[in-house]
Amino acid sequence: MEVSVISDYMINEQIRDREVRLIGEDGQQLGIMSSREAMRMAREANLDLVKIAPGARPPVCKIIDYGKFRYEQARKDKEAKKKQRIIDVKEIRLSPNIDENDLNTKANHARKFLAAGNKVKVAVRFRGREMTRTSIGRTILEEFAQNMSDVAVIDKQPKMEGRSMVMFLMPVSAKGSGSKGQKKKNPDSAPKAKAPDKDQAE
């Protein structure tokens, strides 16, 4: 048996509480007893005594194979990390006097980033006297977002940050199904046009 403290768990001889509530290897509640008696039972099973709930009164200990327990915990942590999706923020830089061809190129780059599940920071950088015409930057960003509307939604509206006006876009899928989730209208439920009066028809 191990005689040490590993991670946040106290095991075996490190457990010095006068009394503990013991759980057997199979999960059976064995009741409250001295930590010495709990240790004896763990030794007889050729397993470890692990304090799993130190804050309880009395503390809760369990008889387990601590090496196997650590392995299972590490495996669960690894699986949890795999399920966590890391979203990067990619940046697209524009200028107030950008031409249409360059704008389309930047838009294609943004589409690739969004398709990969990343957010996109779009920034219009102002130099010198361009700072007096920041409204142009807002127009460019709004048109850029409109061009991306089939694959992205605005996560953060355009705003000034230093000498740049920035806007954040995120993939449509990250916001939900959107229009896909809307129910189709039943044509039978639509209000029917009222037949004209005979006098009006004539």
Would you state the structure tokens that stand for residue 114, as one six-digit string?
Answer: 């969004």
Q: Which residues of the chain have pLDDT under 70?
A: 1-7, 84-86, 174-202
Whether the domain at 5-80 and the domain at 89-176 fall into the same CATH topology: no
The predicted structure's pLDDT at residue 60:
92
pTM recorded for the entire structure: 0.47
90 in Cβ contact with 122 (< 8 Å): no
Question: How many helices (H) and strands (E) are present in the chain, helices listed first?
Answer: 6, 10
Asked whether the bond before 58 is cis by omega within 30 degrees of 0, the reply is yes
Record: fold of 5-80:
Ubiquitin-like (UB roll) (3.10.20)
The predicted structure's pLDDT at residue 174:
61
Tell me the pLDDT tens digit for each residue of 104-149: 999 999 999 999 888 999 999 999 888 888 899 999 999 999 988 9
Indicate the average pLDDT of the chain. Answer: 81
Segments making up each domain of the chain, as ranges: 5-80, 89-176
Record: fold of 89-176:
Translation Initiation Factor IF3 (3.30.110)
Position 40, amino acid: R
CA-based nearest residue to 160, from 192, 187, 135: 135
Which phi and psi (to 5°) does residue 165 adopt? -105, 125
Tell me the pLDDT tens digit for each residue of 190-199: 444 444 444 4
Gyration radius (Cα) of the chain, Å: 33
How far is Cα 89 from Cα 24, in angstroms, rounded to an integer?
Answer: 49
CB contact set of 103 (below 8 Å; sequence gap of 6+): 94, 140, 144
